[in-house]
Amino acid sequence: MTGTGDAATGRAARPASVDRSARLFARPTVVVRLGGAVSGRVTVRSVAVCVGLTAVIVAVGVRTLMSGEVDIPAGDVLRYLVGESGGLDRTIVVNWRLPRVVAAAIFGAALAVSGAVFQTLTRNPLGSPDVIGLSTGAYTGALIVLLVLGSGFGGVALGALVGGVATGLVVYLLSYRSGSRGLRLIIVGIGVSATLTAINQWLILRADIDVAISAAIWGAGTLNGLRWDQAGPAIAIVLPVLVAVLLLTPRLRILDLGDDAAAAVGLTLERTRLVLLVLAVALTAAVTAVTGPIAFVALAAPQLARRLVGSASIPLATSAFMGAALLVIGDLIAGRLFAPIQLPVGVVTVSLGGVYLVWLLFREARS
């Protein structure tokens, strides 16, 4: 009885083609250790994708620093970045353009990681903060402060932060029934978002024309005119939260295996979900507080990263690099497409993201 199994082990013999396929599709991995307690495995392909996206971010960022109403050569830009004096040109690069580039990269990463968390927890590519209403809620909070209280930038940012967190809490509580579920969370979020959108339109229609125009521009999502004193506090919030989410990547991967598998290894399901949701909401709210709602980065970046890496699950680190690249590229397009007029970056992300959303919906309908 040849070819029917392995006599010593009792296992069925596998065809040679299966062994070749297994070797072909095996993914080389490397172990990353941060101190003694934190470690993880990443694929070589994901590292290569992150390196490539980093090169794109740097190249586009330098191009953004060079271009504007005053064009500055790349060599001068690099000298100003390392601290050499340069008068007005250095002020333009370091104090006016650099905050915008740094904010675009960090905020894009934050939106992408927030979207990756929501899509993993809901197990749905449509589960992102802008779809389920968090960005809309942050906009509502900012509008209330701007139109009712007449506060300045700091008050508007605080209102957006509170509005985003409050909306996340409402969506979570309304969708909670014997444990939160992905589809229920999305449906409740869409309903809450529609309600808040109507409230936002009502607030704008009742406002003074000048204030309403300012609110509408902010509501499009913009990095225009961003300075260090505005971007700095949000970056100080976003970076620690980003690190915290990335450190929770192993737990997120366990949740992605299903509730039964997660419970089998002793993971506290609802507590872990709630912590991840709070961190994801904080990322979106902090960004929206400064820039206004920037749509589709959180929706598209995780799925694009997953396809580039070729992973069954959504890779958080690669999603962060993808989100940073998308927002940096979008901001360059927004600033140069109709120069010297600068568009809000949200207009660019909505235009490109709308095409992606149509494709995603069509693909989900077919499957």
* Residues with Cβ within 8 Å of residue 276, at least 6 apart in sequence: 117, 121, 245, 248, 251, 252, 255
Two tokens, residue 84: 């050499």
Q: Give the Cα separation of 80 and 90 in Å (integer).
A: 6
Host H or E run for residue 38:
strand 38-43
CB-count exposure of residue 180 (10 Å: 0-12, 13-18, 19+)? buried
Inter-residue contact 99 to 231 (CB < 8 Å) = yes
Inter-residue contact 333 to 348 (CB < 8 Å) = yes
Confirm or reject CATH 3.40.50.2300 for domain 41-366, answering yes or no.
no
Q: pLDDT value at position 40?
A: 54
Q: pLDDT value at position 29?
A: 56
Distance of CA 279 to the CA centre of its chain: 12
Q: Is the peptide bond prior to 340 cis by the omega test (within 30 degrees of 0)?
A: yes
Phi, psi of 180 (to 5 degrees): -70, 145
Closest listed residue to residue 96, CA positions, set 272, 225, 200: 225
| Stated pTM of the model | 0.83
Widest CA span of the chain, in angstroms? 88
Q: pLDDT value at position 281?
A: 86
Measured in residues, the chain has a length of 367
Query: CA of 156: how far to CAs of 58, 116, 239, 331, in Å?
Result: 31, 27, 21, 22
Tell me if residue 131 falls in helix, strand or coil: coil
Q: Give the Cα separation of 340 and 253 in Å (integer).
A: 46
Count H helices, E strands: the chain?
16, 2
Q: pLDDT value at position 27?
A: 54
Please spell the DSSP secondary structure of 172-229, one letter per residue: HHHHBSSSB-HHHHHHHHHHHHHHHHHHHHHHHHTS-HHHHHHHHHHHT---TT--HH
- Tens of pLDDT along the chain (367 residues)? 444 444 344 344 444 433 433 333 345 655 555 454 445 567 888 899 999 999 999 999 999 999 888 888 888 888 888 878 778 888 888 899 999 999 999 999 999 999 999 998 888 887 888 888 888 888 888 888 887 776 667 787 788 888 888 888 888 888 776 555 667 888 888 899 899 989 988 888 887 888 788 788 778 888 988 889 888 888 998 999 999 998 988 888 888 777 777 777 777 777 888 888 889 988 988 898 888 889 889 988 998 999 899 887 889 999 999 999 999 999 999 988 877 788 889 889 888 877 777 777 777 677 6
Q: pLDDT value at position 85?
A: 77
Rg (alpha carbons) of the chain, rounded to whole number? 23
Inter-residue contact 21 to 11 (CB < 8 Å) = no
Two tokens, residue 74: 């790349």
Inter-residue contact 238 to 232 (CB < 8 Å) = no
